[in-house]
Amino acid sequence: MKIVNVVGARPNFMKIGPLMAEFVKHPHIEAILVHTGQHYDEKMSELFFRQLEIPEPDINLEVGSASHTVQTAEIMKRFEPVVLEHKPDVILVVGDVNSTIACGLVAVKSGVKLAHVEAGLRSFDRSMPEEINRVLTDSISDLLFCTEQSGIDNLLHEGIPQEKIFFVGNVMIDTLLKNKGKADDSNILNQLNLDNNDFAVVTLHRPSNVDNVIVFNQILDALEVIQNDMPVIFPVHPRTHRNLYSMSLGNRIDAMTGLRLLDPLGYLDFLKLMSSAKIVLTDSGGIQEETTILGIPCLTLRENTERPVTVTSGSNHVASTETVKIVEAYRKILNEDSLDIDTPPLWDGHAAERIVQVLVNKLLVL
């Protein structure tokens, strides 16, 4: 059984790691890892591979940065020869980045079965590029692996046959639980001179937030309030860093003495930072999930979430991007004595095992 596994951006690495480790346990599976190169710099790519003990990619397409259209097209052009050469039984894609839909399209146009890990998530916001990638990938997949009940419900509503859908849990949580002990040994708090549970962490990368100067300023207005209460640690995504200075926001950032900008962190350091924080503010989907397991309050700086189980579980609050609403949600959380969090079903560290077992059981009858 030959499976070509595709990663392209940092969120993919945490999802593919447990799967690659599980494939090794099955001698009859040949697992080939393809890195499209959508994220390609040291801190956004290679460091994660080392820390998560993911094997070196067998193939790197080295696509690099470009517009959504150009990047998607270039991945397809470079991935097709890989499929023609290796003739896999299944192509497995994860998440919702451009690499996911690009390689998914190549799979089905080449007559190869397609498996999608993290299927069915919906924000119902078609202005998000990730939402388009999710919807299209799910519509062409043969095996759809879901992290939460909402994903199953969405797929059934869209007419996906029940027999293609599998509730397996969350491979992101597999990675978190496996690495939590190592992250606890990180020295990042000492390096930054931080006290446990006495600071906030913020991450921003979505174009709707960091490409729009009005929205970006609204978020900064809220951070200005919060950094007066506690240190705000801000590992800055490369896209966000470019916009901070192209939008002439640098002076404003420099004036916030409680806001500390960092280069992107490795997985273990960031996990330690996040698990020690008083509160996390983010527009990332994966961080909404990780804070749910860590029991850390999360403010999602968006108008919606494709991961509603993080809200119903009690850790995540969709705060929007309006200054007043962010500050209100922040103060409400500070006044709560403790979080009452329910762990989502099957977020137990064994999602990769379930996925691989389905692949083994189903491949011969597809």
List strands edge to edge, sheet with 143-146: 59-60, 30-35, 2-7, 90-94, 113-117, 143-146, 165-167
Specify the pLDDT at position 41: 64
Give the closest residue to 260 by CA, choosing from 231, 224, 219.
231
Please list, in sequence order, all residues whose beta carbon lies within 8 angstroms of the beta carbon of residue 195, skipping any fewer than 6 positions away.
189
Sign of CA dihedral 49, 120, 291, 243: positive
**What is the maximal distance between C-alpha atoms in the chain?**
62
Specify the pLDDT at position 339: 80
304, with CB counted inside 10 A (0-12, 13-18, 19+), is: middle
Query: Could you report the average pLDDT of every consecutive run of 10 residues in the chain (366 residues)?
Result: 94 94 95 88 71 92 90 97 98 97 98 98 95 98 98 98 98 97 97 95 94 95 97 92 87 93 94 97 96 97 97 95 97 86 96 97 70
With tokens 């593919």, the residue in question is 16
Question: What region does 64 belong to: left with phi over 0, alpha with psi -120 to 50, or beta?
Answer: left
Give the closest residue to 100 by CA, choosing from 136, 61, 70, 63.
136
CA distance 202 to 299: 9
Q: Let me know: does 95 contact 137? Beta carbons within 8 Å.
A: no
Residue 227 structure tokens: 């950094």
Domains assigned to the chain: 2-170+347-365 (3.40.50.2000), 182-334 (3.40.50.2000)
pTM tops 0.85, yes or no: yes
The dihedrals phi and psi of 204, each to the nearest 5 degrees, come to -140, 130
The dihedrals phi and psi of 33, each to the nearest 5 degrees, come to -105, 125
Q: Let me know: does 141 contact 115? Beta carbons within 8 Å.
A: yes
The dihedrals phi and psi of 116, each to the nearest 5 degrees, come to -120, 115
Beta bridge partners, 114, equal 91
Active site residues: 205
Alpha helices in 227-322 (DSSP H): 238-246, 250-255, 267-275, 285-294, 309-312
